Each structure stands twice: as structure tokens, then as C-alpha cells.
Amino acid sequence: MGKQLIAGNWKLNLTVTEAAALAQALATESEELLHRCDLLVAPGFLALETVRSAVLGTAIQVAAQNAYHEPKGAFTGEVSFAQLRDLGVYWVILGHSERRSVFGEHDELLARKLKGALDCGMLPIFCVGESLEQRESGAASTVVKAQLQAALSDLPSDVAARLVIAYEPVWAIGTGLTASPAQAAEMHALIREELATLWGEASGKSVRLLYGGSVKAANAAELLGQPNVDGVLVGGASLQASEFLAIAAASCETR
């Protein structure tokens, strides 16, 4: 089994100065953990260069929280994948539920973003997940399958090794609620099965699957110990070095 990926999404938090301090703390305190798991942080755009410089020389990786699929043009306020690569940032989060629900990003747009990222040589973390209403109505599996098919059906299987899928039940993001280990395992198994259907079993197994949704040190080990859970996408708990590193330590204990 390969290393699990512990990814921290800092969202719209931290000034550039605060982001630098957090990155420096992680760089100083994570050396032992980096031999046993992969660590990644996603600061806001303004802090990308500062954070990248702070973790330079360590194995900590840096991601952007979003990007646009067009390489250039009249798209005020957007950032391209080529611009991120020029900055030395190769990871990007796409399709996060907040991008879908707050900013209206739909499946067709996200499919273009995902293809653009892969065409540009990026390493995308693509997010899928259902709302509370959809889960309570019994539609969770249908919703997640539809999100996967819309994004992946036109992509070749050789992109699998560069792709990470994050399952984030929308009802568990920032609410303090967390999918039970059984619920997480069930949905990750469904995603793995869908990937195998699309691309074949070998390629489907090469995609790392993350769980996201109110992950913290207290529940990380149980979630990370489930089948097909290859890491976690952490929100609020990634804003404190001690808590984020405790989650990483929990990953090491399960492997």
C-alpha cells in the first residue's frame, strides 16, 4: 500500500503573513511524518508563492484551491493552470462543493476544468459529494456516480495515475458532522467500482481516493483505516499545525 495523502484546504482563511507562519511550522515539525505519508496544503492564491517558498526543500506539496480552464484571455479575476505551473504549483483542487454551491460551478464547466488541468500536466484533486437532502432521499450514490461520469467519461485511462478523487459529503463540510466510517467506506467502494467500470480495474485502483468532511485528529484514524480511503482532505483542522500533524500521524498509524 502506498502513502496516504493528507491534504489541507485553507479556504478563505489566513493572511499571507499567517499562511507563511503556518507553512513554516509544518515544515519544521513534519520531517519524520513525511517519510510515512504525503502532506499537501492549499493556501489562497495570494499566499501560494510565500507558502511554496516556506516549504521549499521539504516534501510538503502545495496546491491551488481553484483555477480556470482557458490558458489566457478576457477572463477577469481568473488564474490559469499555466500560470500556476510557472509559479511552481502543480496541484489544484477542482469541484469543491463550495465552488459548486456558492459559485454555481456545474458539471459541464468542471469537466472542462479537469480536462484543462490534466492537459496542462497538473495533478488535480477532483471533489464529488451529495447534499443532506440527496442522501436522505436515497440519491447519494446516483448523484456521486453522475458527477464522476460527467467529469471522467471522456478522459483516457492513462490520466488515472495523476488524478485524486475526494469524496466530500456536502452535509459534513464545516458542520461538525462526519460520515460514519461505514458510510465513507461504502461510498469509496462505489467510487472505486465506478472508476473500474470507466477505465478498467488496474487504472481504477491507481486513483487515490480521499475523504473530506469535518476531519479532525479525533476521528482521522478510524476514517483512514477504512478500505479504499487513501487519505483525507481537511478543512478547518488544517489551520492549526498541531491538529493537522496529528491527523498525519493518525495516517501513519494505519499503514
CATH of the domain at 236: 3.20.20.70
What's 4's DSSP letter?
Answer: P
How does strand 5-9 pair with strand 164-167? unpaired
What is the pLDDT tens value at each position of the chain, 255 positions in all?
589 999 999 999 999 999 999 999 999 999 889 989 999 999 999 999 999 999 999 999 999 999 999 999 999 999 999 999 999 999 999 999 999 999 999 999 999 999 999 999 999 999 999 998 999 999 999 999 999 999 999 999 999 999 999 999 988 887 777 889 999 999 999 999 999 999 999 999 999 999 998 899 999 999 999 999 999 999 999 999 999 999 999 987 766
Containing 62, the helix (H) or strand (E) segment is strand 61-64
- The residue to which cell 489544484 is assigned: 92
pLDDT of residue 174: 75
Torsion, Cα of 204, 210, 213, 215 (10° steps): 150
Residue 3's CB is within 10 A of a number of other CB atoms, namely: 18
The Cα–Cα gap between 185 and 182 comes to 5
Q: What are phi and psi of 56, to 5 degrees?
A: -60, 135
The Cα–Cα gap between 152 and 146 comes to 10
The Cα–Cα gap between 174 and 58 comes to 29
Rg value, the chain, Cα: 17
Helix (H, G, I), strand (E, B), or coil: what is residue 143?
helix
**Looking at 168, 188, 194, 243, which residue is catalytic?**
168
Q: Is 96 a catalytic residue?
A: yes
pLDDT of residue 178: 80
Domain count, the chain: 1
Which residues does residue 197 pair with via DSSP β-bridges, in sequence order? none
Residue 46's CB is within 10 A of a number of other CB atoms, namely: 11
Instruction: Record the cell numbers describing residue 1, joined without a space.
Output: 500500500
Helix axes 217-224, 181-199, angle to 10 degrees: 50
pLDDT of residue 172: 84
Residue numbers of the domain that contains 240:
5-254
Q: Is 29 a catalytic residue?
A: no
pTM of the shown model? 0.96
**Looking at 96, 98, 130, 188, which residue is catalytic?**
96
Helix (H, G, I), strand (E, B), or coil: what is residue 13?
coil
